[in-house]
Structure 1
Amino acid sequence: MSGISNIGGVLDHLDIGSKNKDAPKSNELGQAQFLELLMVKMQNQDPLNPQEDTEFIAELAQFSELEEMEKLNTNFSSFSNVMMSNQALQASSLVGRSVTVPTNNASLAAGNVVSGSVTIPASTSDVNVNIYSESGSLVESIPVGYQSKGEMVFRWDGMYLEVNGELTDWASQLPNGAAPGQYKFEVMASIDGEPTQLDTALSANVNSVTIGSNGSLTLNLAGIGPVSMSDVKQFN
């Protein structure tokens, strides 16, 4: 006897499909089918040349390893689903809140303020905040005077500019203040005698949150658009 000639002969003995006609058909080999197949293989092996113990143990070890991998995949999938649910819950709590992100565009709503910040690379006596309309026209050019090295925080309500918690001495050119709408901010500073535009971070309201297939969060911000959660500098 030459042993099993092909896997088809073993499956004919096993007749997996006829064991449970009500069970859904699957192309995967489960635990019960594997053990049954192994028993059929042992029953049909050549008695003059039986399978070595080491070979048998190796097959069992291989199956055990495969089974553990399947359990690990199942557990990881469950963990991933839980994480996605938690992220969705956290994301929903952000809607309606204000966040600060790297941008030079902001939306001014009635009764609200636009807050922002820049990092001053070196102390300077010449810093200006320029505010442009959506069409690109200069609305205000506000001198804020001397600023020391570090972060400069500002707030603008359409008429008054507050810098590091204090109102500037600048007099607005807009008697009734700027109308609600989209504005662009440009902060210029004289650094080592050279005019330098500083990177701005401005506040924006979260209109909605999108959760990607990989679990990543994207905030859809008013007046800005989609921004990755990882780009948020501050939750206001």
Structure 2
Amino acid sequence: MNQLDPSVINSINGGNARGQSTAGEMRENFMTLLVAQLRNQDPLNPMDNAEMTSQLAQINTVSGIEQLNETMTGINDQIDASRFMQATALIGKAVLVPGERVLVGEGETTPMGMEFGRNVDSVKVSIVDGSGQVVRELDLGRMNAGMHSIAWDGKLADGTQAPNGAYRFRVDAVAEGRSVSVKSFNYAQVLAVSQGHPDGPRLDLGGIFEPVRLEDIRQVI
């Protein structure tokens, strides 16, 4: 391209010293520079059309990427807002989330959940007290693949009522003579929702449990 007076270029790019021009500003500066070059070009040595077209295409590409980024940011903001509203609808609800805790109070027990990746031939649930002792075993027999929720009647192995408090449960499953992995879920109640986390809102389940994500909820009771 033909060279312009440095003062012309400086007047066009003066705002670029900070290195923060947007694609729109870049395109405007380019067009201003292009018009100035056309006016000042040597008729015997005109501008190279291919070079001019290439530069204009680069500016348009940058502008398109910036607009796409703005659009994606807007979509992500909408998704985050939707997820937060979905989470707030669960406040006050009882849910099953990953865990192995079962609570006993006034003869009532909280539900327990388990999920199998395949059909299993036998399932045994062991209830364990705070000292690590097994106080009751439940034989559930065959179960199909998928999510299941069960309830413990709160009775110990000797038939007496289990004292109030927190217990843990362990699930052992067997299929074709081999142990099968099991995902365990315990009962909790959603008390509040917080946002501002990188991977979405968090559900506050009270001081006993750690906050969980929406994706962690396996069942709403």
Q: Please give the TM-score of this superposition, normalised by the length of structure 1.
A: 0.67
- Aligned residue pairs: how many? 211
Residue 86 to residue 192, structure 1, CA distance change in 2 (3 Å) = closer
Corresponding residue number in structure 2 for 1:147: 141
Asked whether the 8 Å contact 2:195–2:202 carries over to 1, the reply is: yes
Moved more, 40-49 or 195-204: 195-204
Percent of matched pairs sharing the same residue? 24
Residue correspondence of structure 1 range 41-190 to structure 2 within 5 A? 41-108=37-104, 113-118=109-114, 119=116, 122-124=120-122, 128-133=124-129, 135-138=130-133, 140-144=135-139, 147-150=141-144, 153-156=149-152, 159=154, 172-174=159-161, 177-179=162-164, 181-188=165-172
More helix, by proportion = 2
Query: 1:20 aligns to what?
Result: none
Selected match of 2:10 from 9, 12, 27: 12
Structure 1 residues 67 and 15, CA gap change in structure 2 (3 angstroms): closer
What are the ranges of 5 or more consecutive residues in structure 1 without an aligned counterpart? 18-24, 162-169
The alpha carbon displacement at 1:58 in A equals 2.4
Change beyond 3 A, Cα 1:112–1:41? farther
Question: 1:59 and 1:189, CA in 2 relative to 1: closer, same or farther beyond 3 A?
Answer: closer
Q: Secondary structure at the match of 1:51?
A: coil
Structure-2 change in CA distance of 1:108 and 1:221 (3 Å): farther
So what's the TM-score if we normalise by structure 2? Answer: 0.71
Compute the RMSD of aligned alpha carbons. 3.8
Alpha-carbon separation, structure 1, partners of 2:150 and 2:103: 15
- CA contact 1:218–1:227 (8 Å) conserved in 2: yes
> Match for 2:160: what amino acid?
Q
The runs of 5 or more residues in structure 2 that have no matched partner are none
Q: Identify if the C-alpha distance between structure 1 residues 143 and 112 changes in structure 2 by more than 3 Å, giving closer, same or farther.
A: closer
CA distance in 1, matches of 2:100, 2:178: 21
Q: CA deviation at 1:5?
A: 6.8
Structure 1 Cα separation of the partners of residues 87 and 94 of structure 2? 13
Q: Does 1:231 align with 2:198?
A: no
Query: Are 2:113 and 2:186, in contact at CA under 8 Å, matched by a contact in 1?
Result: yes
1:10/1:41 contact within 8 Å kept? no
Amino acid across the alignment from 1:147: G
How far apart are 1:43 and its partner, in Å? 3.2
The equivalent position to 2:33 in structure 1, one of 17, 30, 37, is: 37
* C-alpha deviation, 1:156, in angstroms: 3.2
Task: Report the secondary structure of 1:225's partner residue.
Answer: coil
Contact 1:131 1:186 in 2 (8 A): yes
Pair 1:191–1:56, CA change in 2 (3 A): closer
Matches of 1:143 and 1:66, distance apart in 2 = 64
Per the alignment, do residues 35 and 198 of structure 1 end up closer, same or farther by CA in structure 2, a change over 3 Å counting? closer
State the Cα deviation string for residues 72-131 of structure 1 (Å, max 9, x = none): 22222111111111111111112222222332124456686411233495434xx65332
Residues 1:56 and 1:143: Cα distance change in structure 2 (over 3 Å): closer
